[in-house]
Structure 1
Amino acid sequence: MRTMGFARRLLTALAATAAATTLFTGHATAEPAQVDWVSATQQLRAAATGNPGAERAVDTLLGDPRVADAARETALPAQPFQIPAESNVGRGGGPGMYGSGVALNIDGFRFAFFGGPGTIAPNQTGARLDVVWLNLSNGRSGMEPLTEHLDIIADTTIRTRVIDPGPGMVVAAVYGTLWHRWPVPVSPEHPDGFQYVRGEITFPSLGSIYN
């Protein structure tokens, strides 16, 4: 069954993330590349032009010391973004560190996001998570919603459709909102046995990947 096969591949990839903080799927090795974050975010801002949400997200990144001080080496996908996101709900203990964008190459190139309190809720009505991306090597760019998620324990990400950024250095930022849930006792307030919270990203996750 394709769903379970994908889930197994996803679980393997994310287990590698937890163990090594960097996912390696697809090719085994590659020479690390360097990214100029200042130039990259300026060019990503140009790619975001015309989309107010993307423009606001990249404007938040421009000039921020967290971007200037981020790691400059990049590796092959899939890998977590070098700069994590912050949110109004953090990891469940109030505003703060939230999660990270990630590039996946399990069944094709996708952008994804993982993190936040509890798990990703299967119903994302009223929330929207997006990524704006730019290939610095060939000029390709785009904006994609993150909508694909399996309601199983193994799936800790929400992902874009498969896209083709082409070869080269790709920079991307994930921004927006996302519903999370975790089990609680059944009650009139929680008839399905879950508590829900919507996380709003206050500082986007920024990353670069050498594809």
Structure 2
Amino acid sequence: MNGRTLARLAATAAALGVGAAATLGSTAAQPPSPPRSPLDLAIEKLTAAAGHDPAAQAGVSSVAKTAHLITAVKLDFIAGGFQPFWFTSPTFGCGDNGVTMTSVTGTAGAQGPDRGFQGSLGTVRFQATPAASGYPTGSGLTVAWLNTANGRSGVEPMDDQTDYHLPSLSKTVDSGPGTVVAAVWGSIAYPTGSCTMTPNVGVITVYPSPTRDPNAPTATLGVVPSPTDTPGSAPDGAGVATGDAPSGPAVVPGGPPSGPGAVPAAGGNAPVPAPAPVGPGGDTQPAG
């Protein structure tokens, strides 16, 4: 082996070493990927649940865009516990009407008995109300919802029923506290035909603690007087009466009356008149 061959081998080994070092260095320099947020995981779950249904894909896309907008500007608790969706949805095919409107609301759960209007704490009840006469016989509505606070989500049929086993066009979901973004779409069956509702989007706030009942009695602030105390009488053990002050000037016993035109009180110490002068011979002269 001559010197030229040794030089070629040394150059090749050096090149391989530099390439390996560069590869290892670039691999070590890459930062670890950040952990996925609950929002990203929820959107991924919703996308998988939508499948290949075009209507479900459109609803999930609306929910994802709205949720990204809310979290990007760091908004939270931006809606009430009872919140209509952002607009009324055009609905087609309800009976003889060409186009009607359907309103959708979201109601956060509250503490207390279930009266059919809202669920328990940590839940949201979605309700659709079409502007159509008659009662629905079937519900083909679907709600896609997502909680931006905890990552809970779901795509569920609005298949709750009334006490008469008719579609209530509602659905109660266990969302937990946080800001819930939802979209509703689908169809509603009536005896005279079937309606198709365009997607609608809304935001509802689910508070972590129950709010105060506005109809609950409130305690009176301040000191409550005793039932035995009456105006004009002193409280128990007090030496000062609490009645109204006298309207006229006070009369000082033994002193002159005060105030213009005042008359001495009966039995008071009135001024003694001066004695009549005595004339010559002891006759009393009338006072001038």
| TM-score (norm: length of structure 1) | 0.54
Cα distance in 2 for partners of 1:118, 1:112 equals 17
Is 1:206 aligned to 2:201, yes or no?
yes
What is the distance in 1 between the residues matched to 2:104 and 2:95? 11
- Equivalence for 1:38: none
Residues in 1 aligned to 2:46 and 2:168: alpha-carbon distance in whole angstroms? 24
Q: For each residue in 1:130-165, what CA deviation from the matched residue of structure 2 results, as whole angstroms up to 9, or x when unmatched?
A: 10000011111111111123277xx994212x4211
Change beyond 3 A, Cα 1:167–1:209 = same
Distance across 1 between alignment mates of 2:89 and 2:78 = 19
Matched, 1:100 2:111: no
From 38, 46, 49, give the equivalent of 2:47: 49
Question: Which residue of structure 1 lines up, in the alignment, with residue 264 of structure 2?
Answer: none
**TM-score normalized by structure 2?**
0.41
- CA–CA separation in structure 1 for the residues paired with 2:194 and 2:142: 15
- Aligned partner of 2:126 among 111, 116, 119: 111
Residues 47 and 134 in structure 1, CA contact (< 8 A), matched pair in contact too: no
Q: 1:177 to 1:91 in 2, by over 3 A?
A: same
SS in 1 for 2:56: helix
Alpha-carbon shift at residue 62 of structure 1 (Å)? 8.4
Q: CA–CA distance in 2 between the matches of 1:94 and 1:43?
A: 40
Counterpart amino acid of 1:142? G
Q: Gapped runs of 5+ residues in structure 1?
A: 1-41, 64-71, 181-194
Unaligned runs of 5+ in 2: 1-39, 66-76, 110-117, 207-288
Distance 1:89 1:97 in 2: 11
Alignment pair present for 1:165 and 2:170: no
CA RMSD between the two structures: 3.8
The one-letter amino acid of 2:59's match is A
The answer for the alignment partner of 1:131 in structure 2 is 143
Q: Name the CA distance, whole Å, in 1 between partners of 2:99 and 2:179.
A: 32
Check conservation: 2:189, 2:195, Cα contact below 8 A. Answer: yes
Residue type of the partner of 2:196? E
The partner residue of 2:192 within 189, 196, 204 is 196
Contact 2:63–2:144 (Cα < 8 Å) also in 1: no
Equivalent in the alignment of 1:69:
none
Contact map agreement 1:119 1:156 (CA 8 A) in 2: no
What is the total number of aligned residue pairs between the two structures?
A: 144
Q: CA deviation at 1:56?
A: 2.8
- Please tell me whether the aligned partners of residues 90 and 116 of structure 1 are also in contact (alpha carbons under 8 angstroms): no
Higher share of residues assigned strand: 1
The amino acid across from 1:168 in the alignment is G
Distance apart, 1:45 and its partner CA: 5.9
Deviations 1:93-116 (A, max 9, x none): 322533224335323332221123
Rg comparison, structure with higher value: 2
Return the letter of the residue paired with 1:205: N
State the SS of the aligned residue for 1:117: coil
Deviation per CA, 1:159-200, whole angstroms, max 9, x where unpaired?
12x4211111000001111113xxxxxxxxxxxxxx522111
1:85 and 2:89 aligned? yes
